[in-house]
Chains A and B, each alone.
Chain A
Amino acid sequence: MIGFEYMRATDIADAVQKIAGPGAKFIAGGTNLIDLMKENVEKPNRLIDISRLPLNKVEETKNGVKIGALVPNSDLAYHPLIEQRYPVLASAILAGASAQLRNMASTGGNLMQRTRCAYFYDIATPCNKREPGSGCSAIDGLNRMHAILGTSEHCIATHPSDMCVALAMLEARVHVAGQAGERVIPFAEFHRLPGTSPQTDTNLAPHEIIAAVEIPAQGFAKNYTYLKIRDRLSYAFALVSVAVGLEMEGDTMKEARFALGGVAHKPWRDRAAEDALRGKPANTESFKRAADIILKEARGFSHNAFKIDLARRAFVRALTQAARGTPQIQSIKKVR
């Protein structure tokens, strides 16, 4: 790890002022940033500690619930408003990381965490995300964990978050602040696909700070699931995960929303597949038809082509769980 200057921000305006200049970074929970600093992937010359800013409340708003950027992941998962009204978000959070890391990691930091692609972490290998223009080692390398949707010839990394998959499905909005003032970014536009600039993970402007994440009133508390398929049953990143929210009218899906994790550079949504589900009976045939739409353009690489079929099966299983009202429980590993 290289040295850096450490300072604390006193409020958002102060944080935004202190972050100006090259090489400065915000630190809150630190669980991803410090790890990357130890690997010399991140080399900030200045760390602005925002962990003491008063952004740690979960509160009801006119339109839903607003989550302060510094609310720890564990506090959010066990918050009564989230447990009762947005159980899919609680479930997704508890499917990620370990209890210790969830106690440390912040809401905003979860959005800002970087890919766990082994080549991104290994500074001895080319990586367009770490060093633009150096090439992608994963495309012809070990790519079992990598993306099958929305990839580019420059990067096939996945976004590692579970929480963000649920937030994408819930159509959260990200409240950010910068020197130009405040703005709101719809969740679908927060993270980017790699395209020709995989070094840029999000559409957060340089020197902007996340202040809060707001989730709309519709929480799908009755018919939902977060199904995560991984190599071991706990404390592992997703091969494929699915967040689903349904609004049922008898056996018909009046509203259907989903997002996939572990398959792309961002939580993956597909409006056409949601349209295909809406108004249809909740049965395997409808689910399979939607899965075909989602995976039409999917492309596998040397070690991850299995994810295409895995995503199809996980999607059908997740929709089945949600429609039946029998969501996946994260402590009981049996998939039902």
Chain B
Amino acid sequence: MTQSVEDSVPAPVKVPVALTINGKPTQLTVAPWTTLLDALRDHLDLTGTKKGCDHGQCGACTVLVNGRRIVSCLTFAVMKDGAEITTVEGLAANGSLHPVQQAFIDHDAFQCGYCTSGQICSAVGMISEGHAKTAEEIRELMSGNICRCGAYSNIVTAIQQAMGKP
């Protein structure tokens, strides 16, 4: 069965995609199998968003699409045509860090930093979802972001600061 399917694979046809990225309207032309993550990093040089596992398991590639946090490795850029994308590069405003970014610095919420942009975007998404109140809930709702260095306790504290909790 797979043989006939492979034989009928069409030649690559690139598709136009319009995205608003960090407030800036952006046009690009990509193969339909280009993930949003690869479009950001390889086509737009927005390398703040990290590729960790590339299988939706680590959360390093978390971005906000129309305000919702998703993993950008498991969606095709063409599927997000017309969407507003916010990456870690777009969080700071008017020369000031986003409160979550500032809190990560204040609480030393990272070691190597590879997961950090995903952690920060995920935390921003989680705070706007509004379902996390306690430390336990923060831990549960941030479980899609793996930190290999194990900075979890400081990440939770940083998020609590950004949420305005002591």
Contact = CB atoms under 8 A, between A and B. Distances in A.
Interface in B18-53: 31-33, 35
Chain A CB count within 10 A is highest, among B54, B74, B125, for: B74
Chain A CB count within 10 A is highest, among B1, B70, B125, for: B70
Contacts of B75: 30, 34, 104
Contact of A38 (B4, B55, B145): B55
B94 interface: no
B111 interface: no
The B contact surface, by secondary structure, is mixed
A3 B144 contact: no
Contacts of A6: 15, 32, 76, 78
A331 interface: yes
Contacts of B140: 234, 330-331
The A contact surface, by secondary structure, is loop
A99 B144 contact: yes
Given A5-B13, A5-B32, A34-B74, A235 B55 contact: no
Contacts of B136: 331-333
A47 B33 CA distance: 10
B32 A4 contact: yes
Interface in B127-164: 129, 131, 134, 136-137, 139-145
A282 B27 CA distance: 62
B105 interface: no
B10 interface: yes
A38 B143 contact: no
A55 to B, nearest CB: 16
A100 B69 contact: yes
Contacts, number: 113
Chain B CB count within 10 A is highest, among A35, A131, A331, for: A331
A37 B13 CA distance: 18
Contact of A331 (B4, B6, B12, B134): B134
B99 interface: no
B104 to A, nearest CB: 18
B106 to A, nearest CB: 24
Interface string A30-43: 11001101100001
A318 to B, nearest CB: 20
A103 B76 contact: no
A51 interface: yes
Contacts of A2: 6, 9
Contacts of A3: 9-12, 31-33
A100 B70 contact: yes
A234 B57 CA distance: 12
Nearest to A24: B5
A235 B79 contact: no
A23 B8 contact: yes
B85 interface: no
Interface in A48-92: 49, 51, 74, 78
Given A4-B33, A43-B6, A103 B56 contact: no
A78 to B, nearest CB: 7
A62 B8 CA distance: 47
Contacts of A17: none
A49 B12 CA distance: 18
A99 B141 contact: yes
Nearest to B130: A78
A234 B59 CA distance: 14
B74 A234 contact: no
Nearest to B5: A23
B122 A99 contact: yes
Interface of B: 1-2, 4-6, 8-13, 15, 31-33, 35, 54-56, 59, 62, 68-71, 73-76, 78-79, 122, 125-126, 129, 131, 134, 136-137, 139-145
Given A45-B5, A45-B9, A104-B74, 20 more contacts: A2-B9, A3-B11, A3-B31, A6-B32, A22-B4, A27-B79, A49-B79, A74-B129, A99-B129, A99-B143, A100-B122, A101-B71, A103-B125, A131-B2, A234-B139, A234-B140, A234-B143, A235-B144, A331-B139, A331-B140
